Amino acid sequence: MSYPPQNPYGPPPGQQPHYGYPQQQPQPPQPAPYGPYPGGGGMPGMQPQYPVAMPGGVKAARVVMFVLTGLNLIGLIIAVAGLGGVSKAAHDVSPYSAAEDATAINISKGLLIAVIVLIVIFTVLAVTLALQFGNGGNGVRVGSIVFGVGTLILSLCTFPLGLVHTILGIMVIAFISKDESKYWFNRPRY
pLDDT band (50, 70, 90) for residue 162:
confident
Average pLDDT over residues 64-87: 92
Q: How confident is the model at residue 74 (pLDDT cuts 50, 70, 90)?
A: very high
- List phi, psi (to 5°) of 118: -60, -40
* Rounded distance between C-alpha atoms, residue 40 and residue 184, angstroms: 12
Residue 42 has what pLDDT? 52
Q: How far is CA 154 from CA 78, 86, 118, 149, in A?
A: 17, 23, 10, 9
- Span 157-169, average pLDDT: 88
131 in Cβ contact with 147 (< 8 Å): no
First-to-last CA distance in the chain?
57
**For 149-159, what is the mean pLDDT?**
89
Crossing angle (nearest 10°) for helices 99-131 and 56-92: 160
Top pLDDT among 68 and 187 is at: 68
The CA-CA-CA angle for residues 53, 138, 40, to 5°, reads: 50
pLDDT tens, 92-148? 776 666 677 778 888 888 999 999 999 999 999 999 999 998 888 889 999 999 999
Predicted pLDDT of residue 2 = 57
| 188 Cβ contact partners less than 8 Å away, ≥ 6 residues apart | 50
Residue 135 is given by DSSP the state T
- The burial of 183, by beta-carbon neighbours within 10 Å (0-12 exposed, 13-18 middle, 19 or more buried), is given as middle
CB contact set of 44 (below 8 Å; sequence gap of 6+): 37
pLDDT for 148 equals 93
- Residue 173, CA distances (Å) to 58, 61, 128 in order: 11, 8, 17
8-55 tens-digit pLDDT:
676 666 655 555 556 666 666 665 555 554 554 555 555 657 777 888
How far, in Å, CA of 157 to CA of 161, rounded? 9
